[in-house]
Structure 1
Amino acid sequence: MSKAVLVLENGSMHTGVSFGAEGSTFGEAVFCTAMTGYQEMLTDPSYHKQIIVSTAPQIGNTGWNTEDGESLLGKRSQVRWSADFIDHQDPGKIWVAGYAVRNPTTRVSNWRATSSLADELIAQDIVGIAGIDTRAVVRQLRDSGSMRAGIFSGAAVTAAPDMLEQVRAQAPMAGAALAQEVSTEEPYVVEAAGEPRWRVAALDLGIKANTPRMLAARGVEVHVLPADATYADVMAVEPDGFFLSNGPGDPATADAAVQLTRQVLAAKLPMFGICFGNQILGRALGLTTYKLKFGHRGINIPVIDVASGEVAITSQNHGFALAGAAGDEFDTDFGRGRVSHVCANDGVVEGVELIDGSAFSVQYHPEAASGPHDAANLFDKFVSAMETAKKANA
């Protein structure tokens, strides 16, 4: 293993050894508190253009397999997929820009593993760093906020001023339009498990594999559409509902998705959004977004349902949020809206909805890949909204 350096834009440098591919990589440094689920995390398109710093000290003991990836390596070769669309030859595309860990395990111990984490990072040319004091890095990110960073290893390690100049030359995450870069190129369909009862048009802004799988398990045929899909594309599916996926980048740049969402809202089509989709729906309802200091990234984040007071432990990955507070209600062009969920830790908006129940979204990940299953019932809520709309239109 060769020397490696993690360089933050504030000038701090953390020296360790190379982990994965050698070279240089750049992105926004963020930290994730999850102790498990690193494969799902690394293959989550929402982490595009970000360098993850893991707070868990040991990473990699379960290796890498061909079942748990949340994205696919190449362009899909089929236009229809079964509900259980695991490709046992596909390890899943890694979307993170880089990975920083304390102590990567050298011995894989899991019967499902097909390779090690280090081998997969090398295979997909992902530059990482190991052996650094990740606690010190996380303290800086909490105090100063997420910031531009770079990992340099092997021959890419040069003089400190040169590496810092390269880090500061990259564009910040604020203002970054990234959804198109992670979206599918062509529409495809995930078939319902069993008899199809509903058809949903899902806008792929960086959709995770488990989301259509969760919908399919409830009898939903999911038509996944590219991020640049039009209203005509959505309605050509003849959908019973519309879904807004998670995704990377600054939601303030997603004007086309917001306009599409407004058109769908005007058509009274039941709607469900998660993560980036929550911010898109919020913007369509007239709210604004802002960048969080260091975001929410982990699988044990408590969220309060404002109406019931119930708390769910959730999986989250977001650096932007909707402006608002618990109890906020507001007028929209589509009826009365309100803030439906907030984070118990800091009061950040975690969900919005139209009071009539026709459209709702949450900032967290109810598909929980990886993470707890407390919020899985939101998929049932979406199905109920489609059923209610169908009866009303009968």
Structure 2
Amino acid sequence: MKYTKRKKAILLLADGTIFEGKSIGKDGTAFGEICFNTGMTGYQEIFTDPSYFGQIMLTTNAHIGNYGINNEEIESESIKIAGLVCKNFSFNYSRDNAQNSLEKYFEEHNLMAISDIDTRAVVRYIRNKGAMNAVISTDTDIEVLTEKLKSVPNMVGLELASKVSTKEPYFFGDENAPFKISALDIGIKKNILRNLAKRGCYIKVFPYNATFEEMNSFNPDGFFLSNGPGDPEPLKDAQQIAKEVIKRNIPLFGICLGHQIIALANGIPTYKMHNGHRGINHPIKNIITGKGEITSQNHGFVVSREELEKNEDFEITHIHLNDNTIAGMRMKNKNCFSVQYHPEASPGPHDSSYLFDEFIENIKLSKEMNIKAIK
């Protein structure tokens, strides 16, 4: 059996801790910050999510690959994770509408992965010690890997949006749709575009280094700042766009990294979390309605609650119930709001999809006010 021929592989953490497993797919070595996702399903969407660029994904679900690959279930055109660590890898799959096995998918995308790892032990370890850089490899020379691992940059201060953003602007949706949106791609997921398009939006997607003038030349009814990987602090161009949009009071919606960009544009700092939130089962409380939501999340940075509460221009709209971190905010006198989590899900529940409806309502109200002002 192919299973018996697989090579020994190791997971080496930056603090020297070693876990042994077996290789999947190609031989080789992959570096990145290790993080864990608690979702029970949706591995293909997770692997293709640009927000995970540069990270080694550790899946807490015991079985990965058992339902194969469907070509429609992607959030970008390629795998974005740096590597995969899992417990049980399924070389066979049992879903009728799958086009391929996960093994073949990894081979096509040249991804390094290992299985037969005690993932519960690894999760408990990095949950307590915090997220850190790691390497997975079929090369078991620990001294060589340790030296190479030292040169891997820390996620703090690391700009990664340029690695995943579109190179040229493109359009998404029906050009005859009633609303036009200028979206900044700093790691945008396809399902965000799908959610906007099905609500009557024609979207022009711009590269991470676009200017406000370029985005505004589309004459949009609203602006959108996407999710994405890395530290938000180095993204000065994106912060400047947020400042210009807010100054003109054009409807603005930010998700995840876009949420952090809006905070930084208003002098509210962000910081790196001990572990971050990654999964499709995170509890959120909507402060405005008092209702709870189960949400999809993927972030390692968060907006400072202490500093946000000091800012008189903002109010907190959502709180993460596990640790009371900021999950949503809005400006009191500007047409701007944002959330730290993923209302488009994919994978995940749809409890928070109403946020796209709120964005559309904000656009409608803004258009009505502009018409009245002209009259």
Q: If the TM-score is normalised by the length of the shorter chain, which range does it land in? A: over 0.9
Q: Which residue of 2 aligns with 1:196?
A: 177
Q: Which residue of 2 aligns with 1:159?
A: 141
Q: Deviations over 1:206-226 (max 9, x none)?
A: 000011110000110011011
Mapped to 2, the partners of 1:264 and 1:6 lie a distance apart of: 45
Mapped to 1, the partners of 2:83 and 2:361 lie a distance apart of: 40
Q: Deviations over 1:233-290 (max 9, x none)?
A: 1111000000000000001111111011101111111000100011001111221000
Instruction: Please report how far the alpha carbon of residue 329 of structure 1 lies from its aligned counterpart in structure 2 after TM superposition.
Output: 5.7
Q: Does 1:267 align with 2:239?
A: no
Q: Which residue of 1 aligns with 2:284?
A: 303
What number of residue pairs does the alignment pair up?
366
Mapped to 2, the partners of 1:185 and 1:10 lie a distance apart of: 37
Q: Does 1:178 align with 2:183?
A: no
Mapped to 1, the partners of 2:244 and 2:140 lie a distance apart of: 52
Q: Which residue of 2 aligns with 1:216?
A: 197
Contact 1:71/1:208, CA 8 A, preserved across alignment: yes
SS in 1 for 2:355: helix
Q: Does 1:243 align with 2:220?
A: no
- Tell which deviates more after alignment, 10-19 or 40-49: 10-19
Mapped to 1, the partners of 2:206 and 2:355 lie a distance apart of: 21
Instruction: Please report how far the alpha carbon of residue 356 of structure 1 lies from its aligned counterpart in structure 2 after TM superposition.
Output: 3.6
Q: Cα RMSD over matched residues? A: 1.4
Q: Deviations over 1:11-30 (max 9, x none)?
A: 01111110122100100000
- Tell which deviates more after alignment, 289-298 or 256-265: 256-265
Q: Does 1:130 align with 2:135?
A: no
TM-score in terms of structure 2 length:
0.95
TM-score in terms of structure 1 length:
0.91
SS in 1 for 2:368: helix
Contact 1:270/1:389, CA 8 A, preserved across alignment: yes
- Give, as a single letter, the amino acid of the residue that structure 2 aligns with 1:111: D
Q: Which residue of 1 aligns with 2:323?
A: 346
Q: Which residue of 2 aligns with 1:84?
A: none
Q: Which runs of 5+ in 2 are unaligned?
A: 1-5
**Greater than 4 Å deviation, 4+ residue runs:** none
Instruction: Please report how far the alpha carbon of residue 306 of structure 1 lies from its aligned counterpart in structure 2 after TM superposition.
Output: 1.6
Q: Which residue of 1 aligns with 2:208?
A: 227
Contact 1:270/1:386, CA 8 A, preserved across alignment: yes
Q: Which residue of 2 aligns with 1:282?
A: 263
Mapped to 2, the partners of 1:326 and 1:288 lie a distance apart of: 7
Contact 1:274/1:361, CA 8 A, preserved across alignment: yes
- Give, as a single letter, the amino acid of the residue that structure 2 aligns with 1:70: E
Mapped to 2, the partners of 1:31 and 1:19 lie a distance apart of: 18
Question: Alpha carbons of 1:62 and 1:357: their partners in 2 closer, same or farther (altered >3 Å)?
Answer: farther
SS in 2 for 1:262: helix
Mapped to 1, the partners of 2:140 and 2:319 lie a distance apart of: 45
Q: Which residue of 1 aligns with 2:3?
A: none
Question: Alpha carbons of 1:114 and 1:105: their partners in 2 closer, same or farther (altered >3 Å)?
Answer: same
Q: Deviations over 1:75-106 (max 9, x none)?
A: xxxxxxxxxxxxxxxxxx00000000000112
Contact 2:210/2:237, CA 8 A, preserved across alignment: no
Mapped to 2, the partners of 1:15 and 1:327 lie a distance apart of: 43
Mapped to 1, the partners of 2:25 and 2:267 lie a distance apart of: 44
State the percentage of identical aligned residues.
42
Q: Which residue of 2 aligns with 1:207?
A: 188
Q: Which residue of 2 aligns with 1:362?
A: 339
SS in 1 for 2:158: coil
Instruction: Please report how far the alpha carbon of residue 341 of structure 1 lies from its aligned counterpart in structure 2 after TM superposition.
Output: 1.1
Question: Alpha carbons of 1:232 and 1:357: their partners in 2 closer, same or farther (altered >3 Å)?
Answer: closer
Q: Does 1:111 align with 2:96?
A: yes
Question: Alpha carbons of 1:293 and 1:327: their partners in 2 closer, same or farther (altered >3 Å)?
Answer: closer
Q: Deviations over 1:24-55 (max 9, x none)?
A: 01000000000100000000000000000001
- Give, as a single letter, the amino acid of the residue that structure 2 aligns with 1:229: A
Mapped to 1, the partners of 2:223 and 2:12 lie a distance apart of: 42
- Give, as a single letter, the amino acid of the residue that structure 2 aligns with 1:102: K
Mapped to 2, the partners of 1:149 and 1:171 lie a distance apart of: 11
Q: Which runs of 5+ in 1 are unaligned?
A: 73-92
Q: Which residue of 2 aligns with 1:101?
A: 86
Question: Alpha carbons of 1:327 and 1:251: their partners in 2 closer, same or farther (altered >3 Å)?
Answer: closer
- Give, as a single letter, the amino acid of the residue that structure 1 aligns with 2:364: E
Q: Does 1:22 align with 2:4?
A: no
Contact 1:326/1:349, CA 8 A, preserved across alignment: no
- Give, as a single letter, the amino acid of the residue that structure 1 aligns with 2:147: E
- Tell which deviates more after alignment, 16-25 or 364-373: 16-25
Instruction: Please report how far the alpha carbon of residue 379 of structure 1 lies from its aligned counterpart in structure 2 after TM superposition.
Output: 0.5
Mapped to 2, the partners of 1:393 and 1:341 lie a distance apart of: 29
- Give, as a single letter, the amino acid of the residue that structure 2 aligns with 1:293: H
Q: Which residue of 2 aligns with 1:294?
A: 275
